[in-house]
Amino acid sequence: MGYGIRLLVWGDYACFTRPEMKVERVSYDVMTPSAARGILEAIHWKPAIRWVVDRIHVLNEIRFDNIRRNEVGGKIPAGNVKKAMKGETVALCQYAADDRQQRATLLLRDVAYIIEAHFEITENAGPEDSAEKHYNIVLRRARQGQCYHYPYLGCREFPARFRLIEEDEPLPRSIHKGDKDLGWMLLDIDYKNNMTSKFFRAVMKEGVIEVPRMEEGGIAK
């Protein structure tokens, strides 16, 4: 176990998109571990450390809402990018007005979570990369609300506000009681194994979801 923190995050809207939905965006019921890791990395990340999410506390009632948004239907072909890298003259741009599509989104509203996580030192750490050094950096940045880029709740248009929960501070209480099976949920992307998507069975107990490590169980797709 490495050095850990507890982070309170909240926002007006969130959308943790289910990958099985191909056209419309449909959010999971709660924050995914990969989204939680993204928030932590927005505050502090270096190649010398790796964030591991231990558990997620769901504080507020799970409430869904529907919106419709204009999105771009396509993307710049990878082949054009490779041609441009070779010096060929190609168009590397998109005209949103010519490729606009309106899509529905089933999102979450008025969300609040506690992320319990720790970081571990990786093989990329240098002699100056001590655990104490990075831990103090994380604490300082989280206390002051600093981040490398503004964290978001699933989609960039849904910003996440955050604050550090100190060690001697009691945790905010969840409104959820009992157990609730949330089904299969995206755990994270295994970048070391051909970017394989890893899933786990998410069960919320008294508002808390225990997050397994990447190498523990789950299924890959």
pLDDT tens sequence across 44-80: 999 999 999 999 999 999 999 999 887 777 788 888 8
- The pTM (predicted TM-score) of the whole model is 0.85
pLDDT tens sequence across 146-161: 999 999 999 999 999 9
Domains of the chain: 3-68+105-220 (3.30.70.2660)
Report percent pLDDT > 90 for the chain. Answer: 64
Sign of the alpha-carbon dihedral angle for 142, 122, 51, 117? negative
Cβ burial, residue 203 (10 Å; 0-12/13-18/19+)? middle
Which pLDDT band, with edges at 50, 70 and 90, does 218 fall under? low
Query: Regarding predicted confidence, which is higher, 216 or 197?
Result: 197
